[in-house]
Amino acid sequence: METAPGRGFELMRLMHALKPHISVERAFFGAGAIGALPGVLRDLGVAKALIVTDRGVAASGIAERVRILIEGAPVAAAVFDATDPEPGAEVPDGIAARYRNEQIGCVVGLGGGSCLDTAKAVGIMLAHGGTLREYLGPDKIYRPGLPVVLVPTTSGTGSEATPNALFIVDGEKQAVLSRHIMPTAAIIDPELTLTAPAPVTAASGLDALVHAVETYTSLGATAVTEMYSLRAVELIAGSIRSAVWRGSDLAARTDMALGSYLAGVAIANAGTGAVHALAYPLGGKYRVAHGVANALMFPYVTEWNIPSDMRKFATLARAIGEPIDGLSLHDAAFKFLSGIEAIIEDVGVPRSLDDVGIPRSELGALVEGAAKQTRLLKNNPRVLSKDDMATIYTKAWR
């Protein structure tokens, strides 16, 4: 029997792969996991590695520690320690130009999301040449680049588990999206996050929480990604306050690091949604830190989304520790909203678009910017028109 025209495609579209099909080849986790780095480099058989990091990580002494570890492998190490917090195309372009003739065999990304994303792009550009702009968008890369080992020093982006790298190009957040920028190995050592200051821990931790929630309610979620997302929600909600306000708490830092990684795996396979879509314009033009931008949009997008999937939001309420026994499904689902409001309040990030210097006259531009993020909006459990986006932004000037 033949399939009716269009029917086969429709079935393909509706079919979900149950295995998390995009995942990092090797992942090491736990206090002291950084000790696995020399062995990983030896297994790759490289003679020289380029560490891509930033000044904060260099100032903390972590970059030097990692350089010594690499040289003990023994593998020669070069260090680039001037990555930007919200990098533009010029950052990876500049690094690739500078190290093109240095026989780099492997890139080690060390730091927060911007360092890791920059390392992913540099790994492609050192292998295949070109500039970042040529790789922006989905599936513009046809072969693997240099091996890339990612070592996060914050618990937030989950970049060590995703095939995405984000840059601000032409005033907008734009992404390189390709399975060829999946890292070769991820080394997640919560001890490396112990010195992250409270504001960084709060912003990156809320980014991770948003990843966990948005992937859980994503229209691209599967039974398998939901497990990753829900566990990530439990871990992050249960530890973020301690990680922020008692930074030396290794148990809290460990839960945050695991939650962030699990949420990253969920991003790679289920995608994020409207919180990210509405947050990106805040980062693009106004350079609001990604985690802060997400935290600003999170309650209002959640309030919008809850009626679309009350069962899932009630489950999320339970996962963040809200008492929901005996409540109606409606009340249980909305407990999630008050629960995340309390978390955001408790960790002390800006609560209003006024606080980050965005004037109300920008409303139209923000809506236009968010509406372009169709790759994210298509995952959101409830459709948003431009008018709906305007309503949500307006609530965030509170």
Distance CA 29, CA 334 (A): 34
Q: Which C-beta is closer to Fe ion: that of 41 or that of 292?
A: 292
Nearest residue by C-beta to Fe ion?
207
**Min dist. Cβ of residue 159 to Fe ion (A):** 9
Q: Segment near Fe ion (CB under 5 A), from 173-181, 205-213, 226-234, 280-288? A: 205-213
Nearest-approach distance from CB 282 to Fe ion, in angstroms: 12
Helix intervals (H) in the chain = 7-14, 37-44, 55-59, 62-71, 90-99, 113-128, 198-217, 223-245, 250-270, 274-286, 290-305, 310-319, 329-347, 363-371, 374-377, 386-396
Closer residue to Fe ion in complex, CB, 160/207: 207
The rounded distance, in Å, linking the Cα atoms of 148 and 155 is 19
Least distance to Fe ion from the beta carbon of 279, Å? 8
Q: Fill in the DSSP letter of residue 88.
A: B
Cβ atoms of residues 315 and 234 within 8 Å? no
Using CB under 5 A, count the residues that bind Fe ion: 1
Query: Token digits for 177?
Result: 């999206």
Minimum CB separation of residue 158 from Fe ion in Å reads 8
Give me the least distance between CB of 174 and Fe ion, in Å please: 14
The neighbour count for residue 247, using CB atoms within 10 Å, is 18
If the CB atoms of residues 123 and 283 are measured against Fe ion, the closer one turns out to be: 283
**By C-beta, is 203 or 252 nearer to Fe ion?**
203
Contacting range for Fe ion; rule: CB under 5 A; set: 52-60, 166-174, 201-209, 302-310:
201-209
Measured between its terminal Cα atoms, the distance across the chain in Å is: 60
Stretches 9-17, 200-208, 298-306, 330-338: which one binds Fe ion (CB under 5 A)?
200-208
CB atoms inside a 10 Å sphere around CB 34: 20
Least distance (Å) between residue 290 CB and Fe ion: 6
Q: Which of the stretches 138-146, 207-215, 365-373, 386-394 binds Fe ion when contact is defined by CB under 5 A?
A: 207-215
**Which of 70/275 has CB closer to Fe ion?**
275
Sign of dihedral through CA atoms 238, 272, 359, 171?
positive
Q: Which of the stretches 30-38, 203-211, 223-231, 241-249 binds Fe ion when contact is defined by CB under 5 A?
A: 203-211
Specify the residue, 79 or 176, whose C-beta has the smaller distance to Fe ion.
Answer: 176
d(CA 159, CA 290): 13
If the CB atoms of residues 253 and 290 are measured against Fe ion, the closer one turns out to be: 290
Would you call 101 helix, strand, or coil by DSSP?
A: coil
Task: Please classify residue 131 by burial: count the beta carbons closer than 10 Å to its beta carbon, then call 0-12 exposed, 13-18 middle and 19+ buried.
Answer: middle
Q: Which is nearer to Fe ion, 50 or 176 (CB)?
A: 176
Question: Is residue 207 close enough to count as binding Fe ion by CB under 5 A?
Answer: yes
Which backbone phi and psi does 321 adopt, to 5 degrees? 95, 10
Stretch that binds Fe ion, among 80-88, 100-108, 181-189, 199-207 (CB under 5 A): 199-207
∠ at Cα 349 (155, 312), nearest 5°?
A: 65
Q: For strands 185-188 and 26-29, give the pairing.
A: parallel
Q: How many angstroms separate the CA atoms of 16 and 11, rounded?
A: 10
Q: How far is the CB of 121 from Fe ion (least distance, A)?
A: 17
Between 184 and 204, CB nearer to Fe ion: 204
Least distance from C-beta 4 to Fe ion, angstroms?
Answer: 40
Q: Which of 263, 266, 280 is closest to 376 using CA atoms?
A: 280
CB of 287 to Fe ion, least distance (A): 15
Nearer to Fe ion, 204 or 239 (CB): 204
Q: Minimum Å distance from CB 207 to Fe ion?
A: 4
Residues engaged in binding Fe ion (CB under 5 A):
207
